[in-house]
Amino acid sequence: MDEEKKKEGVSVKEIEGYAKKHRFEMFYALFFVLASLFTLVFWGAVLSIFLAGIGAILAVFFPEKVQNLFGKALDFFFKQEGTTQMILGIVGLIVAIFLAPLVFLLMGLHGGMSLIMHTRRPSS
C-alpha cells in the first residue's frame, strides 16, 4: 500500500515537512518570482534592471554600509516572534507585488556587496 501511495505523488505531510525545513528558500523563491512577474506587469523590465545596476554600483563603493544594513535587517527579523516574522514575510510579498523595482534594487545591492567582498577576500 505504501509503495502505491509513493507512486501516486507527494503527501501533504511531506510537503509541510519540506516547507518547515526550507522556509527561507521557499520564501525567497516566491519573493523573486512575484517581483519578476509583477515588474513586467506594472513597471516594465527597464526600470528594474536600471535599479539593480544602480544598487550594484552603490554596493561596490559602500560594501560595509550595505552589509551593515542587511545585517541589521536580519537581526531585527530574527529577534521577532514567529507570528511577527510571518507578518513581516507577508509584507515582503506585498512589496514584491506592488514595489517590484525595490526588490531589484535590493538584489543589486546584495549582489554588488557580495561580489566586492569576494574580490577583496585573500585567496587561499
Of 116, 21, 7, 25, which is closest to residue 63 (Cα–Cα)?
116
Q: Tell me: the pLDDT tens digits for 75-120?
A: 999 999 989 999 999 999 999 999 999 999 999 999 999 999 998 8
Q: Compute how many other C-beta atoms are within 10 angstroms of the C-beta atom of residue 113.
A: 23
Mean pLDDT, the chain, whole residue set: 89
Q: What is the count of structural domains for the chain? A: 1
Residue 61: inside a domain, yes or no?
yes
Residue 104 CA to residue 50 CA, distance in Å, equals: 9
What's the domain range around 107? Answer: 24-120
Residue 17: inside a domain, yes or no?
no
- The Cα-based distances of 83 to 18, 63, 90, 99 in angstroms read 19, 32, 11, 23
Confidence category of residue 7, pLDDT binned at 50, 70, 90: low
Residue 37: inside a domain, yes or no?
yes
**Residue 123 DSSP code:** P
pTM beyond 0.85: no
Residue 79: inside a domain, yes or no?
yes
Residue 5: inside a domain, yes or no?
no
Q: Identify the residue with better confidence: 105 or 124.
A: 105
Place of cell 534592471: 49
